[in-house]
Copies of this chain bind each other. A is one copy, B any other.
Amino acid sequence: MLTDLIAAIMQADNIIIHRHINPDPDAFGSQMGLKALIQHQFPQKQVFAVGESQPNLNWIGVPDVIADVQYAGALVIVIDTANTARIADPRYTTGQQLMKIDHHPDREPFGDLSYVDTNASSSSEIVYDLAQAAKWSLTAEGARCLYAGVLGDTGRFMFDLTTPKTLRVAADLMATGIDAPAIARAEDQLTPNMAKLIGYALQHTEVTEAGAGSFILSTAVREQFDVPLGLEQLAVNYVGKLTTIDAWVMFTEREDGKYRCELRSKHHPINQIAVAFGGGGHPLASGAVAKDLDTCQRMIQTLDQLLKEQR
Protein backbone atom coordinates (compact mmCIF):
# COMPACT_ATOMS: atom_id res chain seq x y z
CA MET A 1 0.00 0.00 0.00
CA LEU A 2 1.20 3.48 -0.84
CA THR A 3 0.11 4.64 2.63
CA ASP A 4 2.66 2.27 4.24
CA LEU A 5 5.39 3.72 2.04
CA ILE A 6 4.36 7.26 2.89
CA ALA A 7 4.36 6.47 6.64
CA ALA A 8 7.87 4.99 6.43
CA ILE A 9 9.16 7.97 4.47
CA MET A 10 7.60 10.39 6.95
CA GLN A 11 9.25 8.59 9.87
CA ALA A 12 12.76 8.40 8.42
CA ASP A 13 15.26 11.22 9.01
CA ASN A 14 17.73 9.77 6.58
CA ILE A 15 16.68 8.34 3.21
CA ILE A 16 18.97 6.80 0.61
CA ILE A 17 17.53 5.97 -2.82
CA HIS A 18 19.11 3.27 -4.98
CA ARG A 19 18.26 2.15 -8.53
CA HIS A 20 19.58 -0.37 -11.01
CA ILE A 21 22.96 -0.62 -12.68
CA ASN A 22 23.19 0.48 -16.33
CA PRO A 23 20.57 3.12 -15.55
CA ASP A 24 18.09 4.36 -18.14
CA PRO A 25 16.01 7.56 -17.98
CA ASP A 26 13.31 5.92 -15.81
CA ALA A 27 15.85 4.59 -13.29
CA PHE A 28 17.44 8.04 -13.03
CA GLY A 29 14.19 9.98 -13.36
CA SER A 30 12.24 8.04 -10.72
CA GLN A 31 15.22 8.12 -8.35
CA MET A 32 15.99 11.83 -8.77
CA GLY A 33 12.30 12.74 -8.93
CA LEU A 34 11.53 10.91 -5.68
CA LYS A 35 14.51 12.58 -4.01
CA ALA A 36 13.41 16.04 -5.19
CA LEU A 37 9.81 15.56 -4.05
CA ILE A 38 10.73 14.20 -0.61
CA GLN A 39 13.39 16.87 -0.11
CA HIS A 40 10.96 19.65 -1.02
CA GLN A 41 8.25 18.31 1.25
CA PHE A 42 10.61 17.58 4.17
CA PRO A 43 13.55 20.02 4.01
CA GLN A 44 14.86 18.76 7.36
CA LYS A 45 15.36 15.18 6.12
CA GLN A 46 18.62 14.04 4.55
CA VAL A 47 17.84 12.49 1.18
CA PHE A 48 20.43 10.96 -1.16
CA ALA A 49 20.35 9.32 -4.59
CA VAL A 50 23.25 6.91 -5.10
CA GLY A 51 24.73 4.66 -7.77
CA GLU A 52 27.38 5.11 -10.44
CA SER A 53 27.15 8.34 -12.39
CA GLN A 54 26.07 8.19 -16.01
CA PRO A 55 27.35 11.18 -18.02
CA ASN A 56 24.65 10.92 -20.70
CA LEU A 57 21.96 11.14 -17.99
CA ASN A 58 23.57 14.01 -16.09
CA TRP A 59 20.92 16.32 -17.51
CA ILE A 60 18.38 14.48 -15.33
CA GLY A 61 20.51 14.57 -12.17
CA VAL A 62 23.89 13.74 -10.70
CA PRO A 63 24.14 10.92 -8.11
CA ASP A 64 25.32 11.73 -4.59
CA VAL A 65 28.57 10.31 -3.24
CA ILE A 66 28.05 9.40 0.42
CA ALA A 67 30.01 7.76 3.24
CA ASP A 68 29.12 4.29 4.59
CA VAL A 69 28.21 5.81 7.94
CA GLN A 70 25.29 7.60 6.31
CA TYR A 71 23.49 4.27 6.14
CA ALA A 72 23.23 3.96 9.93
CA GLY A 73 19.53 4.10 10.75
CA ALA A 74 18.64 5.00 7.16
CA LEU A 75 15.54 4.09 5.16
CA VAL A 76 16.89 2.62 1.94
CA ILE A 77 14.54 2.79 -1.05
CA VAL A 78 15.37 0.69 -4.10
CA ILE A 79 13.45 1.91 -7.12
CA ASP A 80 12.90 0.49 -10.62
CA THR A 81 14.96 -2.62 -9.85
CA ALA A 82 13.32 -6.07 -10.03
CA ASN A 83 16.12 -8.15 -8.49
CA THR A 84 18.85 -7.55 -5.93
CA ALA A 85 21.64 -8.56 -8.33
CA ARG A 86 20.94 -5.43 -10.39
CA ILE A 87 20.88 -2.93 -7.51
CA ALA A 88 23.55 -0.27 -8.02
CA ASP A 89 25.77 0.20 -4.93
CA PRO A 90 25.86 -2.90 -2.69
CA ARG A 91 25.46 -0.87 0.50
CA TYR A 92 21.66 -1.03 0.11
CA THR A 93 21.69 -3.85 2.72
CA THR A 94 23.29 -1.70 5.39
CA GLY A 95 20.38 0.60 6.24
CA GLN A 96 17.78 0.13 8.94
CA GLN A 97 14.83 -0.49 6.67
CA LEU A 98 14.59 -1.55 3.02
CA MET A 99 11.77 -0.53 0.65
CA LYS A 100 11.21 -1.72 -2.90
CA ILE A 101 9.27 0.40 -5.43
CA ASP A 102 8.97 -1.01 -8.93
CA HIS A 103 6.80 -1.59 -11.99
CA HIS A 104 8.54 -4.74 -13.25
CA PRO A 105 7.07 -8.21 -12.53
CA ASP A 106 7.94 -9.07 -8.91
CA ARG A 107 9.98 -12.21 -9.61
CA GLU A 108 12.32 -11.60 -6.68
CA PRO A 109 10.47 -9.89 -3.85
CA PHE A 110 12.75 -8.10 -1.39
CA GLY A 111 12.59 -5.42 1.25
CA ASP A 112 10.74 -4.85 4.52
CA LEU A 113 8.19 -2.89 2.53
CA SER A 114 7.43 -3.46 -1.13
CA TYR A 115 5.18 -1.75 -3.65
CA VAL A 116 5.06 -3.20 -7.16
CA ASP A 117 2.56 -1.95 -9.74
CA THR A 118 3.01 -3.67 -13.08
CA ASN A 119 0.20 -1.56 -14.55
CA ALA A 120 2.31 1.56 -14.19
CA SER A 121 4.15 2.59 -17.35
CA SER A 122 7.26 3.41 -15.38
CA SER A 123 8.61 3.77 -11.88
CA SER A 124 8.35 7.51 -12.44
CA GLU A 125 4.58 7.12 -12.82
CA ILE A 126 4.52 5.31 -9.45
CA VAL A 127 6.44 8.17 -7.81
CA TYR A 128 3.76 10.50 -9.19
CA ASP A 129 1.07 8.23 -7.64
CA LEU A 130 2.96 8.27 -4.35
CA ALA A 131 3.16 12.06 -4.35
CA GLN A 132 -0.57 12.30 -5.14
CA ALA A 133 -1.49 9.82 -2.39
CA ALA A 134 0.71 11.71 0.08
CA LYS A 135 -0.60 15.08 -1.13
CA TRP A 136 2.99 16.29 -1.65
CA SER A 137 3.37 19.30 -3.94
CA LEU A 138 4.55 18.46 -7.41
CA THR A 139 7.56 20.72 -7.86
CA ALA A 140 8.90 21.58 -11.29
CA GLU A 141 12.25 19.95 -10.42
CA GLY A 142 10.59 16.71 -9.38
CA ALA A 143 8.24 16.83 -12.37
CA ARG A 144 11.14 17.34 -14.77
CA CYS A 145 12.83 14.14 -13.56
CA LEU A 146 9.59 12.13 -13.59
CA TYR A 147 8.66 13.36 -17.07
CA ALA A 148 12.07 12.19 -18.33
CA GLY A 149 11.40 8.78 -16.76
CA VAL A 150 7.90 8.41 -18.19
CA LEU A 151 9.15 9.33 -21.68
CA GLY A 152 12.06 6.94 -21.38
CA ASP A 153 10.10 3.85 -20.39
CA THR A 154 7.20 4.50 -22.78
CA GLY A 155 9.42 5.40 -25.76
CA ARG A 156 7.64 8.74 -25.71
CA PHE A 157 4.18 7.11 -25.44
CA MET A 158 4.92 4.59 -28.19
CA PHE A 159 5.16 1.38 -26.14
CA ASP A 160 2.13 -0.68 -25.16
CA LEU A 161 2.48 0.05 -21.44
CA THR A 162 1.24 3.58 -22.16
CA THR A 163 -2.27 4.16 -20.76
CA PRO A 164 -4.65 7.13 -20.78
CA LYS A 165 -3.56 7.60 -17.18
CA THR A 166 0.08 7.82 -18.29
CA LEU A 167 -0.86 10.71 -20.60
CA ARG A 168 -2.81 12.40 -17.78
CA VAL A 169 0.20 12.04 -15.48
CA ALA A 170 2.37 13.57 -18.21
CA ALA A 171 -0.11 16.46 -18.54
CA ASP A 172 0.00 17.10 -14.77
CA LEU A 173 3.81 16.99 -14.78
CA MET A 174 3.96 19.41 -17.72
CA ALA A 175 1.48 21.73 -15.99
CA THR A 176 4.14 22.46 -13.32
CA GLY A 177 5.76 24.64 -15.99
CA ILE A 178 8.53 22.33 -17.17
CA ASP A 179 9.74 22.50 -20.77
CA ALA A 180 8.35 19.08 -21.66
CA PRO A 181 9.18 19.24 -25.40
CA ALA A 182 12.81 20.08 -24.51
CA ILE A 183 12.95 16.94 -22.33
CA ALA A 184 11.60 14.94 -25.27
CA ARG A 185 14.28 16.42 -27.55
CA ALA A 186 17.01 15.72 -24.99
CA GLU A 187 16.04 12.04 -24.98
CA ASP A 188 15.75 11.99 -28.76
CA GLN A 189 19.16 13.41 -29.58
CA LEU A 190 22.16 11.40 -30.73
CA THR A 191 25.87 12.00 -30.36
CA PRO A 192 27.59 12.05 -33.76
CA ASN A 193 29.11 8.64 -32.99
CA MET A 194 25.77 7.13 -31.98
CA ALA A 195 24.19 8.65 -35.10
CA LYS A 196 26.79 6.89 -37.23
CA LEU A 197 26.27 3.60 -35.40
CA ILE A 198 22.48 3.85 -35.78
CA GLY A 199 22.97 4.76 -39.43
CA TYR A 200 25.03 1.59 -39.76
CA ALA A 201 22.34 -0.44 -37.97
CA LEU A 202 19.59 0.89 -40.29
CA GLN A 203 21.69 -0.12 -43.26
CA HIS A 204 22.64 -3.57 -41.96
CA THR A 205 19.44 -4.85 -40.37
CA GLU A 206 18.30 -8.14 -41.92
CA VAL A 207 14.63 -9.10 -42.11
CA THR A 208 13.17 -12.53 -42.86
CA GLU A 209 10.03 -12.95 -44.91
CA ALA A 210 8.06 -13.70 -41.73
CA GLY A 211 9.16 -10.37 -40.23
CA ALA A 212 12.04 -11.39 -37.95
CA GLY A 213 14.57 -8.58 -37.86
CA SER A 214 18.15 -8.93 -36.67
CA PHE A 215 21.20 -6.76 -36.32
CA ILE A 216 24.56 -8.06 -35.16
CA LEU A 217 27.02 -5.50 -33.79
CA SER A 218 30.60 -6.71 -33.56
CA THR A 219 33.12 -5.15 -31.23
CA ALA A 220 35.15 -4.08 -34.27
CA VAL A 221 32.26 -2.09 -35.74
CA ARG A 222 31.23 -0.64 -32.37
CA GLU A 223 34.79 0.51 -31.76
CA GLN A 224 34.99 1.94 -35.27
CA PHE A 225 32.20 4.33 -34.20
CA ASP A 226 33.80 4.81 -30.79
CA VAL A 227 30.61 3.93 -28.90
CA PRO A 228 31.24 2.52 -25.38
CA LEU A 229 29.66 -0.83 -24.55
CA GLY A 230 26.12 -0.28 -23.25
CA LEU A 231 25.37 2.93 -25.09
CA GLU A 232 24.86 1.02 -28.35
CA GLN A 233 21.55 -0.24 -26.90
CA LEU A 234 19.89 2.92 -28.19
CA ALA A 235 20.01 1.31 -31.63
CA VAL A 236 17.51 -1.40 -30.58
CA ASN A 237 14.47 0.86 -31.01
CA TYR A 238 15.71 2.24 -34.32
CA VAL A 239 15.99 -1.23 -35.81
CA GLY A 240 12.36 -1.83 -34.84
CA LYS A 241 11.15 1.13 -36.93
CA LEU A 242 11.24 -0.97 -40.10
CA THR A 243 7.74 -1.58 -41.48
CA THR A 244 8.70 -5.11 -42.47
CA ILE A 245 9.68 -6.15 -38.92
CA ASP A 246 7.23 -7.78 -36.48
CA ALA A 247 9.81 -8.86 -33.90
CA TRP A 248 13.53 -8.38 -33.76
CA VAL A 249 16.74 -9.02 -31.91
CA MET A 250 19.90 -6.98 -31.62
CA PHE A 251 23.13 -8.81 -30.76
CA THR A 252 26.04 -6.92 -29.27
CA GLU A 253 29.41 -8.62 -28.94
CA ARG A 254 30.63 -8.26 -25.36
CA GLU A 255 34.17 -8.06 -24.04
CA ASP A 256 34.09 -11.80 -23.18
CA GLY A 257 33.21 -12.63 -26.82
CA LYS A 258 29.63 -13.60 -25.95
CA TYR A 259 26.67 -11.67 -27.37
CA ARG A 260 24.12 -9.62 -25.49
CA CYS A 261 20.73 -10.36 -27.10
CA GLU A 262 17.93 -7.81 -26.86
CA LEU A 263 14.63 -9.23 -28.12
CA ARG A 264 11.71 -6.96 -29.00
CA SER A 265 8.30 -7.50 -30.52
CA LYS A 266 5.54 -5.24 -31.80
CA HIS A 267 2.61 -7.59 -31.00
CA HIS A 268 3.34 -11.24 -30.21
CA PRO A 269 5.05 -12.21 -26.94
CA ILE A 270 8.62 -13.34 -27.59
CA ASN A 271 9.97 -13.70 -24.03
CA GLN A 272 9.69 -17.50 -24.23
CA ILE A 273 12.61 -17.31 -26.68
CA ALA A 274 14.64 -15.29 -24.20
CA VAL A 275 13.81 -17.89 -21.52
CA ALA A 276 14.71 -20.77 -23.87
CA PHE A 277 18.13 -19.18 -24.34
CA GLY A 278 18.67 -18.68 -20.61
CA GLY A 279 17.36 -15.13 -20.30
CA GLY A 280 14.00 -13.50 -19.53
CA GLY A 281 12.04 -10.28 -19.39
CA HIS A 282 8.78 -8.72 -20.50
CA PRO A 283 6.54 -10.31 -23.19
CA LEU A 284 7.50 -7.70 -25.79
CA ALA A 285 10.97 -6.78 -24.49
CA SER A 286 13.35 -9.38 -23.13
CA GLY A 287 16.99 -10.34 -23.21
CA ALA A 288 19.48 -13.17 -23.05
CA VAL A 289 23.15 -13.92 -23.65
CA ALA A 290 24.38 -16.03 -26.60
CA LYS A 291 27.74 -17.73 -26.31
CA ASP A 292 28.66 -17.33 -29.99
CA LEU A 293 27.44 -16.30 -33.44
CA ASP A 294 26.02 -19.76 -34.11
CA THR A 295 23.76 -19.34 -31.10
CA CYS A 296 22.73 -15.90 -32.40
CA GLN A 297 21.76 -17.48 -35.73
CA ARG A 298 19.74 -20.15 -33.91
CA MET A 299 17.91 -17.44 -32.00
CA ILE A 300 17.05 -15.64 -35.27
CA GLN A 301 15.74 -18.93 -36.69
CA THR A 302 13.67 -19.56 -33.55
CA LEU A 303 12.19 -16.07 -33.79
CA ASP A 304 11.47 -16.54 -37.48
CA GLN A 305 9.77 -19.88 -36.76
CA LEU A 306 7.64 -18.31 -34.02
CA LEU A 307 6.48 -15.56 -36.36
CA LYS A 308 5.70 -18.07 -39.11
CA GLU A 309 3.52 -20.05 -36.68
CA GLN A 310 1.68 -16.92 -35.60
CA ARG A 311 0.82 -15.77 -39.12
Contacts and interface: CB of A to CB of B under 8 A. Distances in A.
Interface of A: 155-160, 162-165, 167-168, 170-172, 174-175, 180-181, 184-185, 188-192, 195-196, 198-203, 205, 207, 241-244, 266
A162 B175 CA distance: 11
A155 B180 CA distance: 13
A181 B164 contact: no
24 contacts: A155-B184, A156-B156, A157-B181, A157-B184, A158-B181, A158-B188, A162-B174, A164-B172, A167-B167, A167-B170, A167-B171, A188-B241, A190-B241, A190-B243, A192-B207, A192-B244, A195-B203, A195-B205, A195-B241, A196-B203, A198-B202, A199-B201, A199-B202, A199-B203
Given A198-B199, A202-B195, A241-B190, A167 B174 contact: yes
Given A157-B157, A164-B172, 10 more contacts: A155-B184, A156-B184, A158-B188, A162-B181, A164-B171, A167-B170, A167-B180, A192-B242, A198-B202, A199-B201
A17 to B, nearest CB: 27
Most chain B beta-carbon neighbours within 10 Å: one of A165, A185, A266 = A185
A168 B158 CA distance: 16
A158 B157 contact: no
Contacts of A160: 181
B157 A164 contact: no
Given A168-B171, A199-B201, A242 B162 contact: no
Contact of A243 (B170, B192, B203): B192
Contact of A158 (B184, B190, B199): B184
A212 B171 CA distance: 32
Contacts of A167: 167-168, 170-171, 174, 180
A174 B167 CA distance: 9
A195 B241 CA distance: 8
Contacts of A180: 157, 162, 167
A266 B203 CA distance: 27
A191 B157 contact: no
Nearest to A56: B243
B196 A202 contact: yes
B200 A185 contact: no
